[in-house]
Chains A and B, each alone.
Chain A
Amino acid sequence: MSELVIPKPVKHKFFTPGMVIVTLLALNGLYFLAKRFLFGMGAVTNLNNFYPWGLWIGVDVAAGVALAAGGFVTAAMGHIFHLPNMKPVIRPALLTAMLGYTFVGIGVMVDIGRWYYIWHPMIYWNGTSPLFEVGICVMTYLTVLYIEFFPIVTERFRGKVNLPNILSIFNKPIEFLFKLFDNTLGKAMFIFIIAGVVLSTLHQSSLGTLMVIAGYKMHPLWLTPIMPLLFFISAICVGIPMVLFESLIASRSFGVKPEMEVLKNIAAYVPLLLGIYLGFKLGDMAIRKSFVYLFEFNKYSIAWLIEIIFGVIIPLVMLNFKKVLNSPLWLFIAATLVVAGVLINRINTFIIAYHPLYAKVAYVPSFGEISVTVGFICLMVILYRIIVMIFPVISLPVKNEEKY
């Protein structure tokens, strides 16, 4: 083997034309965010007493949690089940999860009316509330993700802490902290890895329980008591496609060859997972006889068909072909379809399927709401780029002799 693949910081120019646009969109989002905090939810959103939840809960929170599932899926496959070929994708997926969940937390803070009370669930408990469970699990899991990421920080800086001038007095204490971490938490990392998987299982499914209580206000194409199960399975389904999606974008953006050997091996797991998901989705539909609503050809049936055909069936078929697995472009298309499918499912569940009593007009997100959501995604892209340029996250091919 002449080439080795190991994670190391990416060396690349930060600003490209694409990144300038991303930065401008992020600033646009921050403008509307400031408006929301200064003048209240009503100044920015189209939410009202009939539609209390909109784009921010549907996309920033629900879809955000689902699309950050790559973290626990790759951790479970690589660290717990010890499946082969997982290693190079665990770190990028962990970083996405860490950033994703951080922004889920920020997204919740933006959406709740009293953002300064976000810590209340820690002291005021309500065990019957699935939202309480989601809140507690997300808070704990975010902590676990930071702990899981810390070894990457120590790997980069341990023995190299060299702060300038007056700050140099902190060099020794910081080195000591790194050493302490490696010797304590670092050794117990398996506990955190398992905890991360358990916590993810719990809150990924409980996100699906959220809309069950809305009862008849939910369209029957989506409302089912197995919503938690469907949410959990779809989160597992989207884990790997999200890794593929990012790896292929990152390698294109940084101008390196995508690791197709690794990517096609993990992509091969996806059709099976999608098949299981489709089985449960259609099986539930057959048992509850909700397929009758598909023939109404209204916005609900069309939204459902788009979600299932483009988000599940087409990628499920595509990923069975060698040609798709071997081509970066086709693989990217298939992965994007799965990611979009889960995104559409969360939008359908939280926004489209919810049809409250007495509402005269259906909710459509405002320009400000869309700006904030897009702004957050752009901020995540910026942070991802900064972090992979500082820390050893992305695995790059290195010549054997260069190995450090």
Chain B
Amino acid sequence: MSDNARRDFLKQVGITTAATVGLSSITAKADEYKSGEVQGVLVDIGVCVGCRNCERACQVAHNLPAGDPEEYHNRDVYKEFRRPSTHSLTVVNEFENPKNKLIPYDVKYQCMHCNHPACVSACIVGAFTKNRNGAVTWDTNKCIGCRYCMVACPFQIPTFEYDKAIQPKIMKCDFCFERTKEGLLPACVANCPVEALTYGNRDELLVLAKKRIARYPDKYIQKVFGEDEVGGTSWLYIAPVDFEKLMFPTLGDKPAPGVTEAIQHGIFSYFIPPLALFGWLGGVMWLSKRKKELTESETKKEEDK
């Protein structure tokens, strides 16, 4: 993390000066994820044709109801804007292309697998893990179902099974963690017929993305979404139009949990502030009690006179 970013943090935290202690640990994490191990996927919105094969592959890979393959050819679903849900971890939406109505923009959405995930930082029991390969995974054995991850996520990705009384789950894309562990591609990437999805090392994907933009400067806008957003994400997008038009949030380059972690580390730097408060209150208690007793005995003496 640059010095500028640090200074910005300080500005944001403002009055909570003690919070500065936390900054060093955040910096350490940032470097960790710059190591070459992090994998990612480059989504080329200029290539995607909206066939929804990725959606079906995801359903099958996660044992979710996949339905008849024919259903996925029905383009009526695009009439309504959809979001990932408990029964579909990735969805494709279609947007009209004002320049050419015959070539609409199709956009796949799923968990972005942030470099500094808000869900990992926020989770009360640490049920989320940022794995070394970039995947953000969720542990059903820890989760208590508090849904703070959903409050925290800047991409509004985790979903919750509200209709279950027992063991409701948080559902989100897990970057096909079980598949990639065995050397397989994520299900969506493996099933994309037009190579709109490219899986690989995140650093190399960034180079590839920039090369593509440079080679077709008329086709793409000059931006790789996910390069810097909330400190960078494993999933990267290049597109022919502004990302706001494709319903992506406008985000700064600071990690989503930054300010919160700075405050938390400030309040709890090695438990010194709480213990100091305890000691101070103890001192005040003792002194004010003595003072009270002294005045009381004096008034008593006066009364006796």
Contacts and interface: CB of A to CB of B under 8 A. Distances in A.
19 contacts: A38-B165, A39-B165, A40-B164, A49-B159, A112-B144, A113-B162, A114-B144, A120-B124, A128-B121, A128-B261, A129-B122, A130-B122, A131-B122, A132-B125, A195-B278, A209-B260, A216-B250, A225-B14, A357-B249
B254 to A, nearest CB: 9
A273 to B, nearest CB: 18
B277 A201 contact: yes
Nearest to B266: A228
Interface of B: 12-16, 81, 83, 85-86, 118, 121-127, 142-148, 150-152, 154-156, 158-165, 167-168, 247, 249-251, 256-257, 259-261, 263-264, 267-268, 274, 277-278, 281-282, 284-285, 288-289, 291-292
Nearest to B292: A82
Contacts, number: 196
Nearest to B169: A113
B145 A216 contact: no
Contacts of B147: 47, 52-53, 112-113
B14 A129 contact: no
Contact of A212 (B123, B263, B277, B282): B263
B257 A112 contact: no
Contacts of A202: 267, 274
A181 B142 CA distance: 37
B281 A76 contact: yes
Contacts of B151: 52-53, 210-211, 213-214, 217, 354
A287 B13 CA distance: 12
Residue from A39, A225, A228 having most chain B Cβ neighbours under 10 A: A225
A124 B146 CA distance: 14
Contact of B285 (A120, A127, A194, A205): A194
Given A209-B263, A212-B263, A358-B83, A225 B12 contact: yes
Given A127-B268, A205-B267, A212-B259, A111 B146 contact: yes
Interface string A252-280: 00000000000000000000000000000
A303 interface: no
B260 A358 contact: no
Contacts of B285: 79-82, 190, 193-194
A108 B147 CA distance: 12
Nearest to B29: A128
Contacts of A194: 278, 281-282, 285
A131 B142 CA distance: 15
Contacts of A284: 14
A45 interface: yes
Interface in A35-58: 37-43, 45, 47-50, 52-53
Contacts of A113: 144-147, 160-162, 164, 168
A133 B260 CA distance: 12
Given A80-B288, A129-B121, A226 B15 contact: yes
A206 interface: yes
A229 B284 contact: no
Nearest to A227: B263
Contact of B156 (A115, A118, A201, A357): A357
A125 B146 CA distance: 15
Contacts of B16: 225-226, 228-229
